[in-house]
DNA sequence: TTCCGACAGTGGGGTCGCAAT
DNA sequence: ATTGCGACCCCACTATCGGAA
């Protein structure tokens, strides 16, 4: 198959807003795909590369290359070139990567260049990713979409499922089931603003309220003495976490798949900051040294398989009973079971539990329906997280022009807190929380206040006050106050306030 | 007919390791 | 020694389509 076929399909997919038409266009192409090229074709049309990393990003791609007049590149040819690019390392690597990218791009037509740019940079913007590729694959092969989705979640790879389906048809899907040693996409949680809202959303059934730890999510597979540890995106990080490996080997099981969080504790047993944990888990070179400096502590909250049994379809209640059987107390997340979430006494107990979790220094709680199965790869309605929210009234110092559907709109706001001398200290940026009408309003308003515009950043007179919500402060080496906001989002503009009434740096630092 | 679940898009800060400066 | 880049941890929120209710 030619790259041109993929690029054209991508353009067609992007051209229609209707998901049904996107799926139809994808299915049309998958019907013409040979099984051996399916893993590459479907991954490209899901907007990703099969290579986990290539070393090529926006900076390497942006330079103009003269396009070819006629299409000639095959999909597998492109795939091999990217394999070669990904393998480049050592002195002169950047030059060599650029040379290979030059060769690829000059062999591509203008349409193919656009496609490759979006694909490699990870911003294809065709309105379809894995989920619609799965739908298209199902349509092309006559398989049930839900069965295909399930196979991908359990098989861990869209490409492998596509190849099997195109080779053997829908019957091939039964071969994809949970296997110890092969990671499964983890279940994710929705959010609510407080525990009462979370309980209301879950309905009348029994729930568990669990502490939410602020660390790195891990999926631990143990098969005898063999242990593998995966991140949320299924990256294998076994080598970096000897403590987790040891903890898995201590369990009284032959085999198991566990879901949990890795954190670190200080000498009083209080959790260390996310930044410290992230630094430790991210360290790959001197593991022994890193382990000395910051020992990690894995805590588990779910069990997906044990001793040959697949527990995914069991209820949270049943899975947790198994977890409790095989995992010692300190290795499990603290939790409270509420059989009748509508009982006022129970609600009080839940609120108290949540307050206690926060007092212990943790991030919040996750409220889980006890009757739901493990929804691999789903942001299911049966897990709901609750974290405290802070707010500040900050001054807009500048705004960046948006991209994609926000082209022509001032989108990303630079936020500042007041200093005593009347100047402002930038605390970070945000683009979140803006509706289309607010986006239009702020674009107009900020243009009136503009003092400069370099095509990327519009600086404005610091007059507009915006109320910003955020999860907490983090240390920052980039911003002048030494702190920045975690997960900042706009709540509303405060037109009733002047910049002189905005929150001060002092107020912000007092929140630490 | 209305409601709502799933999806994609739009980007945030920090951290590491590597290569270039 | 410092800086820029790519990759990957953490992630919130809105708009939209189309099936469910």
Residue A99 CA and nucleotide C5 C1' are separated, in Å, by: 17
> On the CB side of A225, how many CA atoms lie within 13 Å of its CA?
0
Separation of alpha carbons A364 and A387, rounded Å = 5
As a rounded value in angstroms, the CA-to-C1' distance for A176 and B3 is 35
Nearest residue to C6 (CA, C1')?
A55
Contact A19, A58 (CB under 8 A): no
Asked whether residue A19's C-beta has any atom of DNA/RNA strand C within 7 A, the reply is yes
pLDDT digits (tens, 9 = 90+) for A98-130: 999 999 999 999 999 999 999 999 999 999 999
Q: What pLDDT band is residue A379 in, cutting at 50, 70 and 90? A: confident
Written in H, E and C, the secondary structure of A474-511 is EECCCCCCCEEEECCEEEEECCCCCHHHCCEHHHHHCC
Percentage above 90 pLDDT, chain A: 97
Cα A321–Cα A150–Cα A214 angle in degrees, nearest 5: 55
Provide the pLDDT confidence category of residue A78 given band limits of 50, 70 and 90: very high
Q: Using the predicted structure, report yes or no on whether residue A244 has a pLDDT greater than 70.
A: yes
Confidence of residue A225 (pLDDT cuts 50, 70, 90): very high
Is the confidence at residue A376, as pLDDT, over 90? no
CA distance A396 to A23: 42
Q: Looking at residue A145, what is its pLDDT?
A: 96
Say how many C-beta atoms besides its own lie within 10 A of residue A230's C-beta.
Answer: 22
Q: Does the structure show a pLDDT above 80 at A150?
A: yes
CA of A410 to C1' of B10 (A): 12
Q: Is A232 annotated as a binding residue?
A: yes
Which is it for strands A450-453 and A424-430: parallel, antiparallel or unpaired? unpaired
A431 closest-nt by C1' vs CA: B11
**What is the structure's pLDDT at A156?**
67
Residue from A126, A130, A166, A138 nearest A24 by CA: A138
Task: Tell whether A385 is in a known binding site.
Answer: yes
Taking 90 as the threshold, does the pLDDT of residue A155 lie above it? no
Q: Which nucleotides of chain B are near protein (any atom < 7 Å from a CB)?
A: 5-20
Residue whose C-alpha is closest to residue A387's, from A411, A366, A412: A366
Task: Give the CA A405 to C1' C14 distance in Å.
Answer: 12
What mean pLDDT is predicted for residues A317-343?
95
Residues A491, A467 contacting (CB under 8 angstroms): yes
- Sort strands A226-230 and A216-223 into parallel, antiparallel or unpaired: antiparallel
**For residues A76 and A362, what is the distance between their CA atoms, to the nearest angstrom?**
48
A231 touches strand C (CB under 7 A): yes
Nucleotide nearest A439, from its CA to each C1': C14
Q: Is the C-beta atom of A278 closer than 7 angstroms to strand C? A: yes
From residues 120-149 of A, list those within 7 angstroms of strand C by Cβ: none
Separation of CA A204 and C1' C17 in angstroms? 30
Distance A77 CA to B14 C1' (A): 37
Distance, CA of A76 to CA of A74 (rounded, Å):
6
| Closest nt by CA–C1' to A491 | C13
Among A25-29, A104-108, A175-179, A377-381, the minimum mean pLDDT is found in A377-381
Residue (of A149, A146, A148) closest to A170 by Cα position: A148
**Among A307, A310, A312, which residue's Cα sits nearest to residue A253?**
A307
**Residue A41: both structure tokens together:** 């074709």
Mean pLDDT over residues A254-265, rounded?
97
CA A124 – CA A126 distance, rounded (Å): 6
Strand C closer than 7 A to residue A72 Cβ:
no
What letters, b where the CB count within 10 A reaches 16 and e where it falls short, cover A71-106?
bebbbeebbebbeebbebeeeeeeebbbebbeebbe
A379 is annotated as contributing to ligand binding: yes
A25 touches strand C (CB under 7 A): no
Q: What is the pLDDT of residue A203?
A: 85
Nucleotide nearest to A19 (CA to C1'): C17
In tens, the pLDDT along A275-323 reads: 999 999 999 999 999 999 999 999 999 999 999 999 999 999 999 999 9
Q: Using CA atoms of A312, A316, A317, A322 in order, give the dihedral in degrees to the nearest 10.
A: 50
Query: Rounded mean pLDDT of A225-232?
Result: 97
Q: What is the rounded average pLDDT of the residues A158-172?
A: 96
Q: How many whole angstroms separate alpha carbon A426 and alpha carbon A142? A: 55
Q: What is the pLDDT of residue A73?
A: 97
Residue spans per domain, chain A: 3-171, 188-386, 390-509
* Residues 421-450 of A, Cβ under 7 A from nucleic strand C: 432-437
- Contact call for residues A262 and A218 (beta carbons, < 8 A): yes
Task: Confirm or deny that A261 is annotated as ligand binding.
Answer: yes
Distance A117 CA to B21 C1' (A): 27
Write down the mean pLDDT value for chain A. Answer: 96
The CATH superfamily label for domain A188-386 reads DNA ligase/mRNA capping enzyme (3.30.470.30)
Write out pLDDT tens, residues A490-499. Answer: 999 999 999 9
Proportion of chain A above pLDDT 70, given as a percent: 100
| CA closest to B18 C1', residue | A90
Number of neighbours of residue A266 by Cβ within 10 angstroms: 11
Please choose, from the candidates A415, A441, A443, A435, the residue with its C-alpha nearest in 3D space to the C-alpha of residue A502.
Answer: A415
User: Quick check: A17 CB within 7 A of strand C?
Assistant: yes
CA of A436 to C1' of B7 (A): 18
Q: Give the right CATH number for A3-171 from 3.40.640.10, 3.30.300.20, 3.40.50.720, 1.10.3260.10.
A: 1.10.3260.10
Cα A428 off chain centre by: 20
Nucleotide nearest to A85 (CA to C1'): C6
For A116, other C-beta atoms within 10 Å of its C-beta total 22
pLDDT tens track for A384-409: 999 999 999 999 999 999 999 999 99
Q: Which residue is nearest to nucleotide C9 (CA to C1')?
A: A278
Tell me yes or no: is domain A390-509 CATH 2.70.98.30.
no
Residue A212 annotated to the active site: yes
Distance CA A176, CA A256 (A): 18
Say which residue the tokens 């479907």 belong to: A42
A425 falls in which pLDDT band (50, 70, 90)? very high
Is residue A14 within a helix (H) or strand (E), and if so which, with residue range?
Answer: helix A3-15
> Residue closest to B7, CA→C1'?
A131
Are A355 and A367 within 8 A, CB to CB? no
pLDDT value for A467: 98
β-pairing, A379-386 vs A188-192, is parallel
At A252, phi and psi to the nearest 5?
Answer: -90, 65
State the catalytic residue, choosing from A22, A91, A212, A387: A212
Q: Which of residues 169-198 of A touch strand C (CB under 7 A)?
A: 191
Contact A425, A419 (CB under 8 A): yes
Distance of CA A212 to the CA centre of its chain: 17
Scanning every strand, the nucleotide with its C1' closest to A51's CA turns out to be C7
Shortest CA–C1' contact from A407: which nucleotide?
B10
Q: How far is the CA of A249 from the C1' of B11 (A)?
A: 41
Tell me what pLDDT residue A380 has. 81
Chain C positions with a protein C-beta closer than 7 Å: 4-19
Nearest amino-acid residue to C14, taking CA and C1': A435
Is A475 annotated to bind a ligand? Reply is no
CB count in 10 Å sphere of residue A27: 17
Q: For the residues A19-45, what does the mean pLDDT come to?
A: 97
């Amino acid at each position: 198959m030619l790259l041109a076929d993929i690029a054209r399909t991508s353009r067609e997919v992007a051209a229609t807003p209707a998901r049904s038409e996107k799926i139809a266009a994808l299915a049309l192409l998958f019907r013409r795909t040979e099984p051996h090229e399916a893993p590459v074709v479907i991954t490209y049309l899901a907007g990703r590369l099969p290579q986990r990393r290539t070393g090529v990003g926006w900076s390497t791609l942006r330079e103009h290359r003269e396009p070819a007049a006629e299409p000639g590149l095959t999909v597998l040819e492109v795939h091999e070139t990217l394999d070669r690019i990904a393998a480049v390392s050592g002195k002169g690597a950047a030059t060599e990567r650029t040379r290979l990218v030059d060769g690829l791009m000059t062999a591509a037509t203008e349409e193919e260049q656009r496609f490759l740019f979006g694909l490699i940079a990870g911003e294809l913007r065709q309105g379809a990713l894995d989920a619609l590729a799965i739908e298209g694959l199902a349509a092309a092969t006559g398989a049930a979409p839900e069965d295909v989705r399930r196979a991908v979640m359990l098989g861990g790879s869209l490409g492998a499922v596509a190849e099997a389906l195109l080779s053997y048809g829908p019957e091939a899907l039964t071969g994809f089931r949970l296997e110890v040693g092969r990671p499964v996409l983890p279940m994710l949680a929705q959010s609510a603003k407080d525990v009462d809202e979370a309980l209301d959303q879950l309905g009348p059934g029994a729930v568990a309220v669990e502490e939410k730890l602020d660390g790195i999510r891990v999926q631990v597979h143990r098969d005898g003495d063999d242990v593998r540890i995966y991140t949320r995106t299924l990256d294998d990080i076994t080598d970096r976490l000897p403590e987790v490996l040891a903890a898995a080997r201590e369990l009284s099981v032959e085999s198991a798949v566990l879901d949990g969080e890795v954190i670190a504790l200080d000498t009083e047993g209080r959790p260390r900051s996310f930044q410290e944990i992230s630094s430790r888990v991210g360290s790959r070179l001197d593991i022994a040294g890193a382990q000395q400096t910051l020992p990690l502590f894995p805590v588990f909250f779910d069990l997906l398989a044990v001793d040959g049994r697949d527990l995914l379809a069991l209820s949270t209640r049943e899975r947790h009973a198994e977890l409790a059987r095989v995992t010692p107390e300190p290795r499990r997340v603290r939790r409270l079971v509420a059989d009748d979430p509508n009982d006022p006494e129970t609600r009080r107990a839940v609120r108290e539990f949540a307050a206690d979790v926060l007092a212990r220094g943790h991030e919040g709680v996750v409220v889980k329906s006890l009757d739901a199965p493990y929804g691999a790869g789903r942001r299911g309605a049966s897990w709901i997280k609750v974290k405290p929210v802070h707010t500040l009234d900050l001054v807009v110092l500048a705004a960046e022009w948006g991209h994609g559907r926000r082209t022509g709109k001032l989108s990303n706001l630079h936020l500042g807190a007041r200093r005593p001398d009347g100047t402002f200290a930038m605390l970070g940026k945000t683009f979140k929380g803006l509706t289309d009408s607010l986006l239009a309003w702020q674009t107009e308003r900020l243009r009136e206040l503009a003092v400069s515009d370099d095509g990327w950043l519009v600086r404005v007179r610091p007059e507009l006050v915006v109320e910003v919500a955020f999860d907490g402060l983090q240390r920052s080496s980039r911003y002048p106050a030494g702190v920045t906001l975690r997960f900042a989002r706009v709540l509303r503009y405060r037109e009733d306030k002047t910049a002189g009434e905005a929150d001060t740096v002092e107020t912000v630092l007092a929140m630490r």
